[in-house]
Amino acid sequence: MNNAAPALLALLLVFALPMAAVASAETTDTSAETNLKTVAASDPITADNTTNRLSLDGEIRSEHTPVSPDFGTTLATRDVAMQTEYRTYRFEAEFENGTAEERGALVEAEHDWIRERIADLSERERTAVSAHANGTLSDDEFLHTLVLVSAEAAELETHLDTLDSHASIEEKPEEAALDMHQSPVRDRLAAFMSGERSSTRSADTVLIQTTDTGMAISMTGRIEYVSEVSQYSNRDTTAPNQFESFSSAHDHVTALYPWTFGEASTGFEALDLAESQLYGFTVPHEHGELTTYLDGGTGDIFYETQVLRQDQLPIEQYGETWTDGAVELAINRTPANGPIEVKTTEEETGEPVRATVLVDGTIVGETGQSGTLWVSPPQNDYEIAVQTAETTIHANVSAHPVGNER
């Protein structure tokens, strides 16, 4: 570590660019006005034979946007990593040479710094969500912020582990806060933006949904659907804790996700932070994995991630199909506004047809040789269009979950 420090510091000086230099120059999105719709407040959407899903409340801005390699974001995340690595190096050197009293003060100072950084991450993220919701922050800038916040949260978590390895500290509240800035969908975004992950599809898109009080991001792949939802208004640390014990909090979450915690569950991991009025649960189940955080003050879920295997989900065809006489468009939907399967076939033979798929005017991919494409649907009503060399078919789709309750 000692030999690496000068080179590391030199790299920091090279890569420590101002944030404005790596952000997208675009600051507005003219499509925002056409994608604002209001959705009534609700508990997690109730699903039949699969896991329930947290949804957003209020006026939602909904955008599908392509995800592609982004040198600026990659450079910024590497800068964050190197700065934290250097801070860890400096901490370990000072800790090794310090007295017992100096070591204790050093650990506490670093712990305080981590708390400050966590507060800053939360503020940056919520500011970005609000700015995207009102149309003053572009999709690219929003994703840049989320990926950068996630990268810094991961580095802070590593630094927190370093502190704990040198002196036992109470780290669970900070660890939980950092976990809520990381998720499977953000990991996938980072992989695409760094160029580490690519696809043979014509487009890789993320669905961004934002309101003044929350956000939801989701992506589909060949096998898995990943999503993250934060409903900030469901978190109130000033209200009295509604749960007398962890057991009562667990019972309440079980009632909100009965299928997930029932026979489908293979066990769960829990985080009991009664002093912070925070209860976390990670539950592997038949269709994937749920992570959810319950607020003791409101008694509501305020953060949720889902990893779901699309081919394992219950599926049913939407109530109608659309055709131009030669090509037929059909949509298969999964419960609780889960991923949809877009199918394009020859009307007479039923053979697959390759087509480009658009949601609300944005290309989200191609149906390919199989004639199918999985898509993340908006929480509000939307339009699906499919294009071939000869035709374009339009379909208006209701977002109300078919066969399920809100």
Task: Locate the domains of the chain by residue range.
Answer: 11-33+69-199, 217-308, 316-397
Which residue intervals of 16-99 are DSSP H helices?
Answer: 19-22, 71-97
Measured torsion, CA atoms of residues 26, 364, 56, 197, in degrees rounded to the nearest 10: -80
CA distances from 324 to 70, 78, 91, 392 (A): 39, 50, 67, 8
pTM: 0.84
pLDDT of residue 171: 66
Sign of CA dihedral 215, 248, 179, 199: negative
**Of 215, 287, 231, 276, residue with least CA distance to 249:** 276
Rounded to 5 degrees, φ, ψ at 214 are: 180, 175
pLDDT at 258: 94
Residue that has been written with the tokens 């966590």 in this structure: 118
- Residue 308 tokens read as 């779901």
Beta-bridged to residue 332, according to DSSP, are: 317, 341
**Which residue type, as a one-letter code, is found at position 291?**
T
The predicted pLDDT at position 113 comes to: 93
Residue 200's SS3 state is coil
Q: In which residue are the tokens 């925002």 written? A: 32
- Rounded mean pLDDT for each run of 10 residues along the chain, 406 residues in total: 37 33 36 43 81 93 90 85 89 89 91 94 97 96 96 93 82 89 95 73 80 96 94 94 95 95 85 93 95 96 96 91 94 93 95 96 92 93 94 89 46
pLDDT at 398: 87
Q: What is the DSSP-derived secondary structure letter of residue 276?
A: G
The pLDDT assigned to 24 comes to 34
Q: What is the DSSP string of 109-159?
A: HHHHHHHHHHHHHHHHHHHHHHHHHTTSS-HHHHHHHHHHHHHHHHHHHHH
Pairing mode of beta strands 316-317, 288-295: unpaired
**Is 316-397 assigned to CATH 1.20.1300?**
no
DSSP state of 183: -
Question: Could you give the residue ranges of the DSSP H alpha helices within 212-293?
Answer: 246-256, 258-261
Give the model's pLDDT for residue 79.
86
Pairing of strands 392-397, 340-346: unpaired
Rounded Cα gap, residues 278 and 180, in angstroms: 12
Q: Do residues 68 and 1 touch, judged by C-beta distance below 8 A?
A: no
Q: What whole-number distance in Å separates Cα of residue 56 and Cα of residue 351?
A: 38
**Is the CB of residue 269 less than 8 Å from the CB of residue 282?**
yes
Q: Is the Cβ–Cβ distance between 355 and 327 less than 8 Å?
A: yes
Give backbone dihedrals phi and psi of 253, rounded to 5 degrees, phi first. Answer: -65, -40
Beta partners for residue 366, in sequence order:
356
Distance CA(159)–CA(89), nearest Å, equals 10
Is residue 393 classed as helix, strand or coil in its secondary structure? strand
According to the model, what pLDDT value does residue 350 have?
A: 94
User: How far is 67 from 195, CA to CA, in rounded Å?
Assistant: 10
